[in-house]
Structure 1
Amino acid sequence: MRRHSRSGSTGRIPDHDLEKSREINEYLNFKDKPKKSNFIKDYIIDYTANSNLHGLKYIGEKERTIVEKIFWLFAFICCLVICAGLIGKLWNKWNVNPVIVSFAENPTPVYQIPYPAVTLCFETKAMQRKFNFTEYYHLYNNTETYSNLTEQERHLFEDVSMVCDDHLAPRKGRKTSSGYELVNHITEISPNLTDVFLGCKWKDITKPNCSDLFSPIITEEGLCYTFNTLGNDELFRTENLHSDYRYLEHENLVGSWSLDGGYEPNTPIETYPHRGSGYGAKSGLTMLLKAANLDLDYLCKGPVQGFKILLHNPAELPRVSQQYFRSPLSQEVVVAVKPKMMTTSEGLRPYEAKRRLCYFPNERYLRYFKVYTQANCEMECLSNFTYTRCGCVHFGMPHDSNMSVCNAGSMPCIKHAQMELVTIAIETGLDDSFDADALDNAKKVSAKCDCLPSCTSIEYEAETSQADFDCLALFRAFRYNVSEFVKDVSYARIMIFFKEAQFITSRRSELYGQTDFLANSGGLLGLFMGFSFLSLIEIVYFLSLRIICVLFKRKNKKQMMNFPKDNLTSREFYKSSNE
């Protein structure tokens, strides 16, 4: 009798079923005995094996020894540190000094800029025939004669002392006064235009009246006369100013010039402000000035008589007390003007003002001036600081109707405020940790000034020479009949003109732009690490998309591993397969 095997009685399992059973058992064994793995470590090894950065692949390779991996890790870190240090220097250079000042490629003709504004002040503030300041000084300061002065005489003396030397202002005088009354007193006794000007020539053409060129202006020096300055409404924000008096009296001429844009295209030669049309004495301004000797006062402004002259931007309010050159009596002064112009490239406009060290016109608002210049900003800052410190302002400073006008009793405070403002500016520049919030109100005002230069600025340098000017000798040479009054008059002549027909403009531009910084940084990264823009994309890819894809694949694999165990055991699976 033939004996059958047990396996044959139960049925033989096909080979393909055995293979499938083996795979399922492997899945089940893997599930029951989880394999120890570090996802982060495996992911880093995957990145180093596929990255195009130099040296990283040696760190992640399994066949490399620990010594080799440490060597390449050390080399990679050294290159990274050196590269970061060099890029840091580039960043500091770009961040701290992004601006370079260079000369323009082509010279600029003088007709493309305005002729300088000329402001002239007489050293004699009170004509002796109208008000003898020396006499009233002694009467006022003498205790016996002080009571004999009327209140009007005392006020008049105190008002005039506001434009004399600082030490002459009486400390017992009024602290404040009406600005309208003070300016009226000063203008009434000051030399008027016909008392000062004997003749004027502009571009070698004699003017019948110097009032065609010059107009009165109120400055810190009192009543002065200016040529080629913008009008009152063009220079000031009159809606924010007081209404007691006007600083500029001449009519507002319709001009076609702006500090930032210059003259508009197709602007004629004869425009306002007057533009330069050449160089030499015959293309400039000539003034013949006079002063009666009996009107001279040697106490108010000291032993030097004559005139103070300031050349300035037509869009600036002049501060003749701070910057000027002198024209003595009986002298001819020849002034050769050399313009200095600074422009700024549009590439610097995205930078902060403190980085490029200048303001564009629409970046800085001034309360009293329509045109931003460094001089206008400093004048407004001084006015606000003086008011905060002294409770009043000098009549020559722009102010609103709510600010009181200082008088002789406040002159020490005004002068102290000017020096204090300069001191605070120096301390702020020297100390980077200077905290304005911890200061009093006056110093907070000064800390907020921040009067950087204008991105487009024009200055005028003066080269002067002088010689004796004996006008009476000329009269005698022509055998003119000279009256006694003319003999008692001193004369002076001033000639102002451009020295050259062209000048070299300075220009602010980018030392390192964004493209330059990116190119230099990319060069260093490529040199030390083989880094490129695709390397950055690769890093972003490994930190985002690749992680998502790997986690998604692991999740699907786990679901495949859990499916047989959760639904059918292996024995049930075999049984169902045989059936």
Structure 2
Amino acid sequence: MEHLINVNSKTEKGTKTEEKGFSRDYAKTIALLSALNFNRSESFGKTPETVENEEKQEKTKRAKSSIIKDYLVDYTANSNLHGLKYIGEKERTYVEKIFWLFMFICCVVLCAGLIRKVWIKWNESPVIVSFAENPTPVWQIPYPAVTVCFETKAMQRKFNFTEYYHLYMNQRDNLSLYEQHMFEDLTMVCDDHLAPANGRKFSSGVDTVNNIKSVSPNLTEVFFGCKWKDIPSENCSDLFSPILTEEGLCYTFNTLGPDEMFRLNNLHKNYPYLEHDKRAESWSLEEGYMAGTPIETYPHRGAGYGVKSGLTFLLKAKKIDLDYLCRGPVQGFKILLHNPAELPRLSQQYFRSPLSQEVVVAVKPKMMTTSYGLKPYEPTRRQCYFPSERYLHYFKVYTQANCEMECLANFTYTRCGCVHFGMPYGPNMQVCNAGSRECIKSAQMELVTIEIQSGLDSRVGNDSDSLGEALAVSSRCQCLPACTSIEYEAETSQADYDWAAIFRAYKLYNISEELKDLTYARVMVFFKEAQFITSRRSELYGQTDFLANCGGLLGLFMGFSILSVAEIVYFLTLRLCCLLWRRRNKQRRIDFAKSSNIPGPSPNKVIHPYSE
């Protein structure tokens, strides 16, 4: 009996113990379920649908951030850029990752700075001027065009400019209208201060030119004899022809014809600038002489160097015809050597041939060519124009001198309402006369200093419309050199030319009074050397050089290459698209499985405590 009592008491104790254990397990289960229910509800008052949507959004954010992180880690692990793999490795500590990230950023910044310097050098100075490898013989280029102007613009026997100047200033009413107009027309080729401000502002261009030509010395009155390549010419008109310039009537040798230099359909028809019909047979400024062109051609080409291979001409003047007021006390001739395709401007560049002097001119050509590799560059970067890139309205051949002449004509017309008769102009433009001479002079100075003048507000206030239009004209000039250009430098020396001593040496004593009144000057023009060195524009940094410099810097600092670019493009496009496409297909299969009620494992399965 006692034994049964003891057994029962043990049983009761065991039962109580089991009940206590069950109570504790039950309490734990209730607490777990309550915690799960609290997490799902998050706050009191939310509906189950809202809670479920918020859980989905949070899971989506965590999934996206995890995807981006895994994607970046994948790129750093597979990239061939130096240092990136240490940043993405999971085994590395934060200190190591920060160190490699800092080093990578420093290399990127330093490399970008050096590449910027290379870019600036390539962008601002892509052109280098160097000497050609081989010298150029003088027979490959044309002989320089030689333009000669007499300093006396009106022969005293035909029109005494000095006398009419004083009459015009003091007794103008006593002069006929023809005499007044003749004097005013001649002041257009004399010194600026001689032009009367109260004279005509405009005139007929053809009348002005005819008046100047009528009193200027003609070709036979200027030239006594000529020789080309040591062969005397029967008549100097075979070599020289009249040309109209800002200095009035001059004479030129070896210049292109008017239909080859000018766009005659855009010019006025009042008078010609050139009066000869010689044509260039096989020469152009860009291409030079064609292969097979003979030595004797036009424009004339040099056949050697020295006096016997050049041009020699003897000039003459009568003392009675000299005028010391129009052009000042220095008498003689102005001479300019220029490109055969250019209209000469003797008011800007020339050398003198004084009377009773012999002038020896040794010519040194300066030729500049340009590599066709520079053609893709902008003209402002290479600092020159190819023939097809710049159109001139009045000239067929682009040269810097022709461009400046045309620009000056347009600028003068804009500022003064007229142009000088020696400038090329259109059919509807007026010709300036003595009353506009001061305006012409001011326009020339303004064009030179136009950038400074444009910043002066006071000038704009007085004549804003005219100056604003003139500024627009000047901004369109941009007269850069031609990519192929030829210039001629002259080294001169001179000595006394005593022609009377020759007569005495030959015992020719019967010198007439007319010959005694004559004075002579001799000029000899020839190439100094048989060859010269051509300058050449070429690429300092081509696209290949620039790419090689940048690639070297990128490879040195980062191990960067073209495949690195392909790798970045791959990770940003193809690989990303494939990854998104794979995830979208996986999500579609899951959604399809749910909609078809196909049993599957639950991602959030809760195990019941009595499920064992």
**TM-score when scaled to structure 1?**
0.90
The superposition leaves residues 204-259 of structure 1 with CA deviations (integer Å, 9 ceiling, x where unpaired) of 00000000000000000000000000001110000000000000001132421100
What is the match of residue 114 of structure 1? Answer: 142
1:58 to 62, 71, 86: 86
Partner letter of residue 459 of structure 1?
Answer: E
What is the match of residue 552 of structure 2? Answer: 523
- 3-state SS of the aligned residue for 2:276? coil
What is the match of residue 320 of structure 1? Answer: 346
The structural deviation recorded for 1:167 is 0.2
What is the match of residue 577 of structure 1? Answer: none
- 3-state SS of the aligned residue for 1:454? coil
Structure 1 CA distance, aligned partners of 2:315 and 2:503? 16
Partner letter of residue 115 of structure 1?
Answer: Y
- Alignment partner of 1:89 is 2:120: no
The structural deviation recorded for 1:556 is 1.8
- Alignment partner of 1:71 is 2:123: no
Structure 2 CA distance, aligned partners of 1:572 and 1:69? 39
Matches within 5 A, 1:495-510: 495-510=524-539
- Mean alpha-carbon deviation: is it higher for 206-215 or for 249-258? 249-258
CA contact (8 A) 2:415 2:466 kept: no
What is the match of residue 185 of structure 1? Answer: 211
Gaps of 5+ in 1: 1-29, 430-435, 574-579
Matches within 5 A, 1:206-217: 206-217=232-243
The structural deviation recorded for 1:439 is 6.4
The structural deviation recorded for 1:71 is 1.1
- Alignment partner of 1:493 is 2:522: yes
- 3-state SS of the aligned residue for 2:449? helix
- Mean alpha-carbon deviation: is it higher for 453-462 or for 51-60? 51-60
Partner letter of residue 537 of structure 1?
Answer: A
**How has the CA–CA distance of structure 1 residues 398 and 438 changed in structure 2, closer, same or farther, with 3 Å as cutoff?**
closer
2:596 to 553, 556, 567: 567
1:103 to 131, 134, 156: 131
CA contact (8 A) 2:359 2:492 kept: yes
The structural deviation recorded for 1:32 is 12
What is the match of residue 446 of structure 1? Answer: 474
CA contact (8 A) 1:469 1:491 kept: yes
What is the match of residue 48 of structure 2? Answer: none
For the aligned residues, what is the CA RMSD?
A: 2.0
Gaps of 5+ in 2: 1-54, 456-463, 603-612
The superposition leaves residues 145-186 of structure 1 with CA deviations (integer Å, 9 ceiling, x where unpaired) of 211100000000000010000000011110000000000000
The structural deviation recorded for 1:561 is 2.7
The structural deviation recorded for 1:61 is 1.4
- 3-state SS of the aligned residue for 1:440? helix
Matches within 5 A, 1:391-402: 391-402=417-428
1:385 to 411, 418, 431: 411
CA contact (8 A) 1:237 1:369 kept: yes
- 3-state SS of the aligned residue for 1:216? strand
**TM-score when scaled to structure 2?**
0.85
The superposition leaves residues 475-508 of structure 1 with CA deviations (integer Å, 9 ceiling, x where unpaired) of 1221222100100111000000000000000000
2:314 to 288, 298, 305: 288
2:305 to 254, 259, 279: 279
The structural deviation recorded for 1:195 is 0.5
1:123 to 130, 151, 172: 151
Structure 2 CA distance, aligned partners of 1:92 and 1:421? 31
Matches within 5 A, 1:3-82: 34=59, 36-37=62-63, 38=65, 39-82=67-110
2:540 to 511, 534, 547: 511
- 3-state SS of the aligned residue for 1:558? helix
Structure 1 CA distance, aligned partners of 2:574 and 2:465? 49
- Aligned sequence identity (%): 74
- 3-state SS of the aligned residue for 1:452? coil
The structural deviation recorded for 1:438 is 12
**How has the CA–CA distance of structure 1 residues 553 and 471 changed in structure 2, closer, same or farther, with 3 Å as cutoff?**
same
Structure 1 CA distance, aligned partners of 2:157 and 2:469? 46
Structure 2 CA distance, aligned partners of 1:567 and 1:215? 105
**How has the CA–CA distance of structure 1 residues 536 and 273 changed in structure 2, closer, same or farther, with 3 Å as cutoff?**
same
What is the match of residue 358 of structure 2? Answer: 332
The superposition leaves residues 337-362 of structure 1 with CA deviations (integer Å, 9 ceiling, x where unpaired) of 00000000010011110000000011
2:565 to 516, 536, 539: 536
- 3-state SS of the aligned residue for 1:525? helix
Structure 1 CA distance, aligned partners of 2:114 and 2:59? 49
**How has the CA–CA distance of structure 1 residues 308 and 439 changed in structure 2, closer, same or farther, with 3 Å as cutoff?**
closer
**How has the CA–CA distance of structure 1 residues 544 and 204 changed in structure 2, closer, same or farther, with 3 Å as cutoff?**
same
**How has the CA–CA distance of structure 1 residues 572 and 446 changed in structure 2, closer, same or farther, with 3 Å as cutoff?**
closer
1:468 to 484, 491, 496: 496
Structure 2 CA distance, aligned partners of 1:77 and 1:571? 49
- 3-state SS of the aligned residue for 1:106? coil
- 3-state SS of the aligned residue for 1:147? helix
